[in-house]
Amino acid sequence: MYTNENLMEKIISLCKRRGFIFPGSEIYGGLANAWDYGPLGVEVKNNIKRMWWDRFVRRRSDIFGLDAALIMNPRVWEASGHLKEFSDPLTECRKCHERFRADQLEDAHACPACGGELTDPLQFNLMLKTYLGPAEEKANEVYFRPETAQGMFVNFKNMLDTMRPRLPFGIAQIGKAFRNEITPGNFIFRTREFEQMEIEYFIRPPKNNEWEEQFDMWRREMEQWIADLGVDASRVREVEIPDGERAHYSKRTIDFEYDFPFGRKELYGLAYRTDFDLKNHEGYSGENLKYRDPETLEEFWPHVIEPTWGVDRSVLVTLLEAYREDAEKKRVYLKLPPKLAPYQAAVFPLLSNKSALIEKAENIYKSLQSSSSKLHVAWDERGNVGKRYYAQDEIGTPWCVTIDFQTLEDDTVTVRDRDTAQQVRKSIAELDDYVKEMIGW
């Protein structure tokens, strides 16, 4: 477990102070559990999404990308079972009227806030409802999608017709999902609007449990992903979800749980959805959603393994794992994996009142920041160099490049490492390659 006290408070404060994540609608007093990603937060979030898309879509020939509409025909949610099944037990205190999720309470009868008596739990549907068009009537009711998955099932036929894939193959999507959570909270851990990265991986109807091989393949992929975010494996548990506690569509689920400072909670999930979704969508839509084997011409509904990742929870664990306090040097730094950091490097002139230094530094900054380079580079000329180092440490910039008087003579610069605070001298010509090599690009 974490030894750093008040870690969540420290992270939330750093996020606000340094432009990672702001409270949503702040000038109006905020909106409970809504958060806005600022300039640095959106970089980390986009880097995570890019790493995921690159790994699972662009570097694989068996997975196809999709970006489906957020609001879908409401019949989708009848077919998927969400209208009937996607609910949590809601209970309310008769005295203080606070509401809770009954399945998360230690005592199902006493209010944890005031000790008052709790009502019998009612199933509360988590889908967020709205109306399309000007009339607020039943016929115009629609839902914001509670998972990105259904966009992939309803486009299954389009994928077969356009991409002509052979089994096994997958559809991948990154996008927003909405849930009217009863107890949102813990910063960006549980919100009502959040983002998911999901894959529906279609396999042959299993004989002799061969789906378990594919399940294990995805389990290993997810373990590797978690390691690449910089997460310490000792803080992750893979938990088999027992019968009766899994989502309505799942025959097997493993939750990847993480030791958050507020307790051990779900980070990601892996489920075997069988042919539940395709079969139901065929039943409700009347469209043939079977796969036809090109060799045997046999038709069947493929089965599905679904690995799913929360984007916001990925950002949160990345920040929690990266946070460091260096008592000796009296500094805070974020030990982010360099390719996930908001900036890969920062460039400074040693002094901000020497035009020769500034001019030289600006040229180096422009060349590192150029479109042919994948690097995102910060510029800083405020205060003294020591303060600039600390400011970059706090936002996780792995390397700081300083242009000094020696640079004007021999075209070398100092490169300071965020984690060790050590400096090395490098020639300007090798700078771009040096940083990329250190990142592993």
Using the minimum distance from each CB to ligand GAP, give the nearer residue, 98 or 181.
181
Q: What are phi and psi of 172, to 5 degrees?
A: -125, 145
Distance, CA of 340 to CA of 47 (rounded, Å): 5
By CB under 6 A, name the one of 47, 91, 191, 397 that touches ligand GAP: 191
Contacts of 255 by beta carbon, 8 Å cutoff, 6+ apart: 238, 239, 241, 266, 267, 268, 269
By CB under 6 A, name the one of 43, 92, 198, 259 that touches ligand GAP: 198
Task: Return the structure tokens found at 188.
Answer: 């960006």
Segment lying near ligand GAP (by CB under 6 A), choices 56-64, 103-111, 304-312, 319-327: 304-312
Write down the least CB distance from residue 299 to ligand GAP, Å: 26
Q: Edge to edge, what strands does the sheet with 252-260 contain?
A: 63-66, 169-178, 193-203, 303-310, 263-274, 252-260, 236-240
308 binds ligand GAP (CB under 6 A): yes
Using the minimum distance from each CB to ligand GAP, give the nearer residue, 276 or 291.
276
Using the minimum distance from each CB to ligand GAP, give the nearer residue, 169 or 268.
268
Write down the least CB distance from residue 7 to ligand GAP, Å: 19
88 binds ligand GAP (CB under 6 A): no
Segment lying near ligand GAP (by CB under 6 A), choices 134-142, 194-202, 366-374, 426-434: 194-202
Write down the least CB distance from residue 279 to ligand GAP, Å: 17
310 binds ligand GAP (CB under 6 A): yes
CB-based contact 127:144 (threshold 8 Å): yes
Q: Please tell me the total number of residues recorded for the chain in this structure.
A: 441
**Which residue's C-beta sits nearest to ligand GAP?**
310
Which residues are 176's β-sheet partners?
195
Distance, CA of 250 to CA of 127 (rounded, Å): 19
Write down the least CB distance from residue 307 to ligand GAP, Å: 9
Q: Measuring CA to CA, which residue among 286, 301, 312 is closest to residue 195?
A: 312
269 binds ligand GAP (CB under 6 A): yes
Using the minimum distance from each CB to ligand GAP, give the nearer residue, 188 or 428.
188
Segment lying near ligand GAP (by CB under 6 A), choices 40-48, 307-315, 332-340, 386-394: 307-315
Q: Rule CB under 6 A: which of 143-162 touch ligand GAP? A: 147, 149
By CB under 6 A, name the one of 18, 190, 235, 416 that touches ligand GAP: 190
Would you give the binding string for ligand GAP spanning residues 164-183, x where CB under 6 A is met? Answer: ---------------x-x--
Please, what's the b/e burial string for 45-80 (b: 16 or more CB within 10 A of its CB; e: otherwise)? Answer: bebbbebbbeebbeeeeebbebebeeebebebbebb
Measured torsion, CA atoms of residues 46, 50, 56, 58, in degrees rounded to the nearest 10: 150
By CB under 6 A, name the one of 266, 362, 381, 394 that touches ligand GAP: 266
Give SS3 for 118.
Answer: strand
- Identity of the amino acid at 161: D
By CB under 6 A, name the one of 91, 125, 173, 196 that touches ligand GAP: 196
Task: Return the structure tokens found at 411.
Answer: 């075209």
Write down the least CB distance from residue 34 to ligand GAP, Å: 11
Segment lying near ligand GAP (by CB under 6 A), choices 70-78, 108-116, 188-196, 403-411: 188-196
By CB under 6 A, name the one of 64, 268, 276, 291 that touches ligand GAP: 268
> What is the full DSSP assignment across 327-349?
TTTTEEEE---GGGSS-SEEEEE
Which residues are 199's β-sheet partners?
172
CA contacts within 13 A on the Cβ side of 109:
0
Using the minimum distance from each CB to ligand GAP, give the nearer residue, 306 or 321.
306
Q: Rule CB under 6 A: which of 333-372 touch ligand GAP? A: none
The secondary structure of residue 117, as a DSSP letter, is B
CB-based contact 175:92 (threshold 8 Å): no
- For tokens 């999608």, name the residue: 145
Summarize as ranges the residues that interact with ligand GAP (CB under 6 A). Answer: 147, 149, 179, 181, 190-191, 194, 196, 198, 266, 268-269, 306, 308, 310, 312-313
